[in-house]
Structure 1
Amino acid sequence: MTTELDERTGVREFFLRAPAVGPALALVLAVAIFSVSTDTFLNLDNLSLVVQQSLVIGTLALGQTLIILTAGIDLANAAAMVLATLLMAKLATGGMDGSAALLLGIAATVVISAVIGSLVTRVRLPPFIVTLGGLTMLAAAGRIYAGGEAVPVTDELLTWLGTRRYLFGGIEITYGMTLALVMYLVVWYALTRTAWGRHVYAVGNAPESARLSGIKVNRTILSVYVVAGLIYGIAAWQALGRVPNADPNAFQLGNLESITAVVLGGTSLFGGRGSVLGTMMGALIVAVLRSGLTQLGVDALYQDVATGALVIAAVAVDRVARRQR
């Protein structure tokens, strides 16, 4: 009896300490189910398309993960990204060099996130309220700036991340996919191997304890928003590589989809627990689910129902896990 209890405790502790394991198992299970139920899911072209479809949301989710780890949330990330795509496209169309337009677009998302972070840390406004207001203003600003019309992108640098290459002669990849992988590895290293990463987890887990231990809580949170803003700017570049057209109405649910990926990846909405590798799995789970259900002929509305149910289940599991801790 004691041995069985110890084994259960050991398994539970393993999953608590390695939050990315659960999402990885869920991803494998989803791939296995759709591979058996459809004839085309395991096709190399389809698998490549699934990864490409998860690319922009997965990058937004990477920045969202950092903010949620500090017990915050960002509802304005997709709106900031869309505004950056419009800024890049209109500047390049107006004759500005592509590299300058790209840098200004990325700078815009960094400044936006820095302002939001300052309101959260200096004025002590709730992240939900600040980013909700930011979402409304940025979405309106994007439509006003673009005149309600999409802006085509022809600059080679702005669409460069969409360039396709073939790995081993048959697996289609893009530069955007490679860049996303590099970004995930860099952020993973920063969170797990640096003092900054330890501070991020400490602030999200117990901000008052972190402050008493000498961690500059406000500075850490502000740095997280700035890094997230940089990531959102790169997501805008990826979006233009994926579809060379800056549309003010694009990614209207991008903020919620990025949160979905983070939650499905095992990151706690209450802060202090989670990993970027789990977020990567979460973004792929959403893409796999939509691709598989589409191939099965399931209506998109029912796909949204299934995704929403998964999010609720993931939050419930996280709640139970926190009680166990």
Structure 2
Amino acid sequence: MNTTNETRGPAEFEKVLPGSEDAVVFEEDRATVLRRVHHFLHAYPTAVPFIVLLFTIGVFSAIVGDRFFAPFNLSLVLQQVTIIGTLGIAQTLIILTAGIDLSVGAIMILSSIVMGRLAVVSGVPVGIAFPLGLATGMACGYLNGLLVTRLKLPPFIVTLGTWSIFGALVLFYSKSQSLRQQEVEAVASFLQWTGNAIPIGAARLTFGSIVMLLLAALVWYMLNRTAFGRHIYAIGDDPDAARLAGINTSRTLIAVYVIAGLICAIGGWILIGRIGAISPNSGFNANLDSITAVVIGGTSLFGGRGSIVGTLIGALIVGVFRSGLALAGLDALWQEFAVGVLIIVAVASDQWIRRISL
């Protein structure tokens, strides 16, 4: 019985096969290129959403034509994503710690209702009502952080519960009644200030968008230039290792939720300026939209990786998709369909990048 082939190893088989050395070199080169791509995407998480944004703009400019690049349409897209971008900034802080906050939309609405009804209905001076509205957002965030850290409950469950609680408080305090634009303007016009705009040719840049960009710049600085920001990334990457390194994880998490609540309250102020009125029914899907912007923007749902810039790009991608599809004459149903596909692709990409980088 001839056992020659049975005793040969894989390397010997490769030498026997014609052209096998070239095939091995090709496979090694391809693996090296993929590895470099993986490391690049892991080091620069905003690269993918930025490429997607440019590709999306190119596609819709080819389909829709000059209407897409009209200054008015571009400024309208920015106005539409201002609320999503603002809440996305808050959501990014939470997700970087490997958590998630389903209550950001409810916190935003509750804060806007508090500052609005105190000023318009109760006659409290705006200089007092506005800070109380901000304090409401911070208190909601503190409650979320306290439940997550003290009771050791999953952030998803905690914020799912507080989402219902804050939503019930909105209906209770507002009595399911909206305050019209004229009522707010007559008593507390400052609350509508974020809706004012600076004309730039045919475009309009609202103060709400400027506030969003300033918030993004401040949070970016905090995450990238302060020890507190490094602690946030460390907790999201490995909470046990962060604890062993001397980081007070509970205090840091509570601070993150409080800051996120404050940003949501500022989002409530921007919301009043956006719609001109104070309504308990506005921003109903804002919590899901904020998660969409964060995920599409390249922030990992597992924590420890992501950026504020990526979140803003993610919000712009959602706005560009909806605007482009609307200009193309497609139904709103397909706009939501496209956004859903984007979310799945973004999460799949994150899994792929994370698996290679581990």
What is the CA–CA distance in structure 1 between the aligned matches of 2:30 and 2:317, rounded to whole Å? 32
Residue in 2 that maps onto 1:42? 69
Residue in 2 that maps onto 1:320? 352
What is the CA–CA distance in structure 2 between the aligned matches of 1:122 and 1:8, rounded to whole Å? 43
Q: Structure 2: which 5+ runs fail to align?
A: 1-24
Deviations 1:195-215 (CA, angstroms, capped at 9, x unpaired) = 111110000010001101111
Residue in 2 that maps onto 1:108? 136
* Runs of 4+ residues deviating >2 angstroms: 1-12
Question: How far is the alpha carbon of 1:8 from its aligned partner?
Answer: 3.6
Q: Is the 8 A contact 1:34 1:41 kept in 2?
A: yes
What is the CA–CA distance in structure 2 between the aligned matches of 1:298 and 1:4, rounded to whole Å? 40
Q: Superposition pairs for residues 78-89 of structure 1, below 5 Å?
A: 78-89=105-116
Report which of the two structures shows the higher radius of gyration computed on alpha carbons: 2
Residue in 2 that maps onto 1:26? 52
Residue in 1 that maps onto 2:41? 15
SS of equivalent residue, structure 2 residue 92: helix
With the length of structure 2 as denominator, give the TM-score of the two structures: 0.88
Residue in 2 that maps onto 1:75? 102
Q: Aligned residues, how many? A: 324
Question: How far is the alpha carbon of 1:156 from its aligned partner?
Answer: 1.7
Residue in 2 that maps onto 1:133? 161
Residue in 2 that maps onto 1:233? 265
With the length of structure 1 as denominator, give the TM-score of the two structures: 0.97
Matched, 1:211 2:239: no
Residue in 2 that maps onto 1:246? 278
What is the CA–CA distance in structure 1 between the aligned matches of 2:316 and 2:199, rounded to whole Å? 20
Residue in 1 that maps onto 2:18? none
Matched, 1:161 2:189: no
SS of equivalent residue, structure 2 residue 191: coil
Letter of the structure 1 residue corresponding to residue 149 of structure 2? T
Q: Superposition pairs for residues 249-288 of structure 1, below 5 Å?
A: 249-288=281-320
What is the CA–CA distance in structure 2 between the aligned matches of 1:35 and 1:42, rounded to whole Å? 7
What is the CA–CA distance in structure 2 between the aligned matches of 1:4 and 1:254, rounded to whole Å? 42
What is the CA–CA distance in structure 2 between the aligned matches of 1:280 and 1:265, rounded to whole Å? 7
Q: 2:327 aligns with which of 270, 288, 295?
A: 295
What is the CA–CA distance in structure 2 between the aligned matches of 1:161 and 1:114, rounded to whole Å? 26
What is the CA–CA distance in structure 1 between the aligned matches of 2:281 and 2:269, rounded to whole Å? 17
Question: How far is the alpha carbon of 1:258 from its aligned partner?
Answer: 0.3
Matched, 1:311 2:343: yes
Q: Is the 8 A contact 2:41 2:353 kept in 1?
A: no
Percent identity, please: 45
Question: How far is the alpha carbon of 1:14 from its aligned partner?
Answer: 1.3
What is the CA–CA distance in structure 2 between the aligned matches of 1:64 and 1:296, rounded to whole Å? 31
Question: How far is the alpha carbon of 1:10 from its aligned partner?
Answer: 2.5
What is the CA–CA distance in structure 1 between the aligned matches of 2:282 and 2:91, rounded to whole Å? 18
Letter of the structure 2 residue corresponding to residue 63 of structure 1? A
